[in-house]
Amino acid sequence: MDKANNTSYPRKSARGSIYRYLHRSGSFCGKQDLARALGLSMPTVYQNVNELMDMGLVAYSGQQRATGGRSASGLAIVPEARLAVGISVTDDRLRLAVTDLRLRQLVYKNVPFVPGPDLGGPLAGELETFLDENDVDRFRLLGVGVSIPGILSADKRQLLFAPTLGLRDTSLGGLYARIPYPLYVDNDANCGGSAEWFIRDHQPNMAYLSLEGGVGGAILIENTLYTGRTQRSGEFGHMCVEPGGLACSCGRRGCLEAYCSVRRIQAEGYAVEEFFDLVRDNDPACSALWGDMLRHLALGVNNIHMALDCDVVLGGYLTGYLGPWFPLLQKYVADGSILDGGSDFLQLSTLGSHSSVLGAACHFIQEFINEI
């Protein structure tokens, strides 16, 4: 239908603008504030706010502001009006989370998991158990997002290569067939980067570097995820940082992933938590290994910054332990930079190890906000 002849289109457009403004708002917002900020008439604001309230998406916030006459009531979205589920697949476990419309994690579960060629059956079973255990209302569920550490086909129905999972040319048809909700599947780093972008109030340009069992990345340019010509952009983990160096799961040597992933710690015989306890206790072997990881990580970060000239955000499981050594990493980055000698472009994820699972759910939240 021609939008110019569709009288419901302007009303829906105004409704969406109001909802998105309230979603972003971090301060008191009344009807007059909406009218001024969005250039809408008061009758239009009243009509659309009432529609959003009838839909259960907006409510009075309980805040009051004196205006010289009657006090104005504040408005806010109802975050729990819709829910989304994220599932993160790794080489040894599943992470599952339910989020609200602000991407706040409501419930979370971490279960052991051994991935195989058929992901559909095991994931569907774990998902239903998780939803039942937490009494999740299926009627409010927007969809289920699945993040996978690998390269996917353009239609997201084929897993082309996932070295940390030991899978190649694997159909995801069983996943789509077995999960009875709207489904979205993407690379884990793309998911993590999307989540970080969402909660950072949509900063326009960002590179995301994911430090998990493998190392991946995502690039966001002008508020859009850049996927590249063949959907393979941001494979930062397989840039060479040490020619002829350590063997990588991809079959090559010297990749950033071989030096800066959880698997390197595990390959030395340590559980991650045990390893960092030993580093804090100044164990010589663990301290030397961690120092080498940080130096190679700084090299990778500088390469990314050199190529893209934007903020670099570190996320993933390892960032949950990185905090005490972040100033040292910043120093290594600054020392290795040939641009301005600084490291203020480097940031730590605020979502840490949950970025990919929340990012998988984020797809449906963002879609809902855009289309309301």
Q: CB within 8 A of 277, min separation 6: which ones?
A: none
Look at the block and give the residue holding tokens 């001024």: 36
Adjacent-strand bridge partners of 363: none
Neighbouring C-beta atoms of residue 51, cutoff 10 Å: 17
Please give the Cα distance from 291 to 320 (Å, whole number).
17
Closest CA to 232 of 304, 314, 153: 153
In tens, the pLDDT along 88-99 reads 998 888 999 999
The answer to whether the beta carbons of residues 346 and 330 sit under 8 Å apart is yes
The pLDDT value recorded for residue 7 is 45
- Integer CA distances (angstroms), 322 to 96, 140, 289, in order: 23, 36, 14
88: region left, alpha or beta (phi > 0 left; psi from -120 to 50 alpha): beta
Average pLDDT in the 226-236 region?
85
Is residue 68 over pLDDT 70?
A: no
Please give the Cα distance from 193 to 189 (Å, whole number).
6
The enclosing H or E element of 183 equals strand 183-187
Q: CB within 8 A of 36, min separation 6: which ones?
A: none
In tens, the pLDDT along 321-341 reads 999 999 999 999 999 988 776
Q: Report, in angstroms and rounded to the nearest whole number, the Rg of the chain calculated over CA atoms.
A: 23
Is residue 69 over pLDDT 60?
A: no
Q: CB within 8 A of 6, min separation 6: which ones?
A: none
Please give the Cα distance from 16 to 14 (Å, whole number).
5
Query: Which pair of structure tokens corresponds to residue 173?
Result: 């048809």
Is residue 35 over pLDDT 90?
A: yes
In tens, the pLDDT along 134-171 reads 999 999 999 999 999 988 998 999 999 898 888 999 99
In tens, the pLDDT along 256-314 reads 999 999 999 999 999 999 999 999 999 999 999 999 999 999 999 999 999 999 999 99
The answer to whether the beta carbons of residues 357 and 97 sit under 8 Å apart is yes
Q: Could you tell me the pLDDT band of residue 121, with boundaries at 50, 70 and 90?
A: confident
In tens, the pLDDT along 180-223 reads 999 999 999 999 999 998 988 767 789 999 998 889 999 998 87
The answer to whether the beta carbons of residues 58 and 75 sit under 8 Å apart is yes
The pLDDT value recorded for residue 3 is 41
Task: Kindly report the length of the chain.
Answer: 372
Which residue ranges form the domains of the chain, and what is each CATH number?
3-77 (1.10.10.10), 82-193 (3.30.420.40), 197-354 (3.30.420.40)
